[in-house]
């Protein structure tokens, strides 16, 4: 049983625009989070829609470790992930179904850092975030994800 929870949610309308923190987001099967770049096909990787681009998660602990280990300070939205979690090992959710509040998700793979993230932040972020608590997930049920929601398997 997981004991994690959502500490922030972030979306943006365009691939290069800053992420905006919101209190809740509607998750839509096959589309993503309403209002987010991938939902509308405006993301860097939206030209080839895939289930693993519907929603992304990152551990707050990973963000903190990047600061501690590499001296890189990132705000949660700077990571370009939709959902920031605490107290859940996201890497362990690859290939598993889990719930975030009322929404059911399936972890499809690690969300490794890309050149786009490095371009928008710093080149060192790619090395700092490799294999560190970032997950791509598919939305299995429609619903609303809220800050504070419990994450359970």
Q: What is the DSSP string of 81-98?
A: -SEEEES--GGGGBT-EE
Give the CA distances from residue 119 to residues 30, 44, 50, 126, in Å, rounded to whole numbers and listed in that order: 28, 12, 23, 10
- 143 pLDDT band (50/70/90 cuts)? very high
Please report the domains of the chain, with CATH numbers, ordered by start residue: 4-152 (2.40.33.20)
Question: Residue 118 — very low, low, confident or very high, per pLDDT cuts 50/70/90?
Answer: very low
Which tens digit of pLDDT belongs to each residue from 26-73? 999 999 999 998 887 765 555 666 676 799 999 999 989 888 888 888
Residue 119 CA to residue 129 CA, distance in Å, equals 14
H helices of 10-53, in order, are none
């Amino acid at each position: 049983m997981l004991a994690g929870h959502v500490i922030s949610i972030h979306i943006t309308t365009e691939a290069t625009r800053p992420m905006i923190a919101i209190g809740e987001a509607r998750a839509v099967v096959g589309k993503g989070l309403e209002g987010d770049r991938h939902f509308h096909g405006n993301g860097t990787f939206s030209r080839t829609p895939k289930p693993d681009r519907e929603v992304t998660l990152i551990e707050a602990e990973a963000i903190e470790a990047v600061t501690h280990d590499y001296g890189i300070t990132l705000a949660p939205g700077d990571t370009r992930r939709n959902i920031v979690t605490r107290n859940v090992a996201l890497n362990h959710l690859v290939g598993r179904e889990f719930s975030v509040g009322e929404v059911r998700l399936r972890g499809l793979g690690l969300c490794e850092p890309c050149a786009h993230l490095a371009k928008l932040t710093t080149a060192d972020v790619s090395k700092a975030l490799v294999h560190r608590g970032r997950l791509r997930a598919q939305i299995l049920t429609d619903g609303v994800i809220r800050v504070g929601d419990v994450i359970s398997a």
